[in-house]
């Protein structure tokens, strides 16, 4: 059984531990194992920036008091892109396939429907079939391919750019 909740600054140590573990066990995350060079205070400040921004959210998935996954949504900061937000998600291997991804997306969708966010976007490696299935199931569509987007183990890796447009009743004039 898992719990989905918004993260707070007191979760900084657990989030940093989780991110380091994801860097170690997954080649689907952006950073390699030795690249994450942030302090506990920097992670606390980052969490506070999410908590205080009305177009961003940081959600965690917890099992027995242990953070096993997270989803971050970082909204645009200027008028021209405040309606758009970029998503990053990571779930430890041992906890995949338990509905945690779906739970994180459900929480994010509930939050997003009550914000100015209209567009959610993410990138995913084209060979990451598990993530592609999760994103597609949650309404994301492929917009295009970023060719030679990354280099992993000396090999070029393409990414899909995916988005989901939230259907809201507001007219664009109401959002400007």
* Confidence at residue 176, expressed as pLDDT on a 0 to 100 scale: 54
Predicted pLDDT of residue 126: 97
C-beta separation of 35 from 41 below 8 A: no
Task: Enter the pTM of the model.
Answer: 0.90
For the segment 114-141, what is each residue's pLDDT rounded down to a tens digit? 999 999 999 999 999 999 999 999 999 9
45 CB-side CA count, 13 A: 5
Is the pLDDT at 169 greater than 70, yes or no? no
HEC-encoded secondary structure of the chain: CCEEEECCHHHHHHHHHHHHHHHHHCCCCCCCCCCCCCCHHHHHHHHHHHHHCCCCEEEEEEECCEEEEEEEEEECCCCCCCCEEEEEEEECHHHCCCCHHHHHHHHHHHHHCCCCCCEEEEEEECCCHHHHHHHHHCCCEEEEEEEEEEEECCEEEEEEEEEEECCCCCCHHHHC
CB atoms within 10 A of CB 23: 18
Mean pLDDT (the chain) is: 92
**What pLDDT score does 28 carry?**
87
Residue 96 has pLDDT above 90, yes or no: yes
Per-residue pLDDT band for 5 (boundaries 50, 70, 90) equals very high
Per-residue pLDDT reduced to its tens digit, 17-64: 999 999 999 888 887 788 888 888 999 999 999 999 999 999 999 999
Cα–Cα distance, 116 to 74 (Å, whole number): 12
Domain spans in the chain, listed from the N-terminal domain onward: 3-175
pLDDT of residue 173: 54
Q: Is the pLDDT of residue 159 over 70?
A: yes
CATH number for the domain whose boundaries are 3-175? 3.40.630.30
pLDDT at 29: 85
């Amino acid at each position: 059984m898992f719990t989905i909740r918004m993260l707070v600054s007191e979760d900084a140590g657990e989030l940093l531990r989780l991110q380091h573990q994801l860097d170690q066990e997954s080649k689907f995350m952006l950073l390699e194992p030795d690249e994450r060079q942030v302090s506990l205070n920097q992670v606390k400040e980052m969490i506070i920036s999410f908590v205080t921004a009305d177009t961003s959210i940081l959600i965690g998935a917890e099992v027995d008091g242990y953070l096993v996954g997270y989803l971050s949504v970082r909204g645009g900061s200027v008028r021209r892109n405040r309606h758009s937000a970029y998503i990053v998600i990571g779930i430890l291997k041992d906890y995949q396939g338990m509905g945690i991804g779906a739970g994180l997306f459900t929480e994010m969708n509930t939050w997003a429907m009550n914000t100015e966010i209209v567009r959610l976007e993410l990138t995913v490696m084209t060979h990451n079939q598990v993530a592609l299935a999760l994103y597609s199931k949650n309404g994301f569509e492929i917009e295009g391919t970023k060719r030679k987007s990354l280099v992993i183990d000396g090999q070029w890796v393409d990414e899909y750019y995916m988005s989901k447009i939230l259907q809201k009743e507001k007219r664009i004039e109401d959002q400007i």
